[in-house]
Amino acid sequence: MPATQMKELLKHELGDLLYAEQLILKMLGTLTREVNNPEMKARVEEHAAETEEQIERLKRAFEAIGEKAKAEKCDAAVGLKAEHDSFKKEEKPSKPVLEAFDLGSSLRVEHYEIAGYRTAIAIAQVMGENEVVSLLNETLREEEAMASFIERNAVKALKLLAEQMEPRDVEFTPDEGGSQSKAKGGTAAKSASKSGTAAKSRTTAEKSSGAGKSGGTAAKKAPASRAKAKS
């Protein structure tokens, strides 16, 4: 049946958000197992509890417009989860790298939710559905607070994670045949060898130059000695 009324659009948006929140609640459960930073972990667990309440608010929003709560598949939320899962499967990240990835993944989720709630609130305002507006605004504030928390703490958390990551021991340098890896230690040794060779060359040159000067001086003194002998 074609959607031709604002109420049908609002119903779709609420269903989309309901599906997204139910899926995100599962994602938050996974996140609590992947995050080791105590402050982040505590905030994720707190937000999981908020998400449970957000699901209940959406159900009440359906009731406010005289409709039965029904989740509609949210492809965007499915995509956000798939991105996380494919990263784990394809990249096989270490625990610190996965936790760093989760920061960005979580922020993308929050901004998607913020956009979804703002959209639904605007439609509800146009329809004069004040109860729906009130319910969704409460959730919107929680989503904005979570996004703000991640943004404020991301750099500090990433620095701590970077300290736990293994340093890269291989340096990649391109050559004619394509990319070629060289050990940093080997490169340093070669550089040191080149420096030593250059130093030896300079020393040899200086000695040669000194010998030349000494020879020239001796040659000049010889004629003078012979002249004294004749006299």
Tell me the C-alpha distance between 74 and 21, whole Å: 10
Check if the beta carbon of residue 112 is closer than 8 Å to that of residue 76.
Answer: yes
pLDDT tens digits, 10-62: 999 999 999 999 999 999 999 999 999 999 999 999 999 999 999 999 999 99
Q: Residues near 47 by Cβ (< 8 Å), separated by ≥ 6?
A: 28, 142, 146
Q: Which domains does the chain have, with CATH numbers?
A: 7-163 (1.20.1260.10)
Which residues make beta-bridge pairs with 178?
A: 175
Residue 119 carries which side chain, given as an amino acid letter?
Answer: T
Angle subtended at Cα 141 by Cα 87 and Cα 151, rounded to the nearest 5 degrees: 45
Residue 212 confidence (pLDDT): 46
Environment class of residue 159 by beta-carbon count within 10 Å: exposed (0-12), middle (13-18) or buried (19+)? exposed
Check if the beta carbon of residue 14 is closer than 8 Å to that of residue 58.
Answer: yes
Q: Give the DSSP per-residue string, 64-91.
A: HTT--------HHHHHHHHHHHHHHHHH
Give me the tens of pLDDT residue by residue for the chain, a chain 231 residues long: 677 899 999 999 999 999 999 999 999 999 999 999 999 999 999 999 999 999 999 999 999 999 999 999 999 999 999 999 999 999 999 999 999 999 999 999 999 999 999 999 999 999 999 999 999 999 999 999 999 999 999 999 999 999 999 776 434 455 544 444 444 444 444 444 444 555 455 555 555 455 444 444 444 444 444 444 343
Residue 3 confidence (pLDDT): 73
pTM for the structure as a whole: 0.71
Pinpoint the alpha helices (H) of 67-183.
Answer: 75-91, 95-127, 130-164
Environment class of residue 86 by beta-carbon count within 10 Å: exposed (0-12), middle (13-18) or buried (19+)? exposed
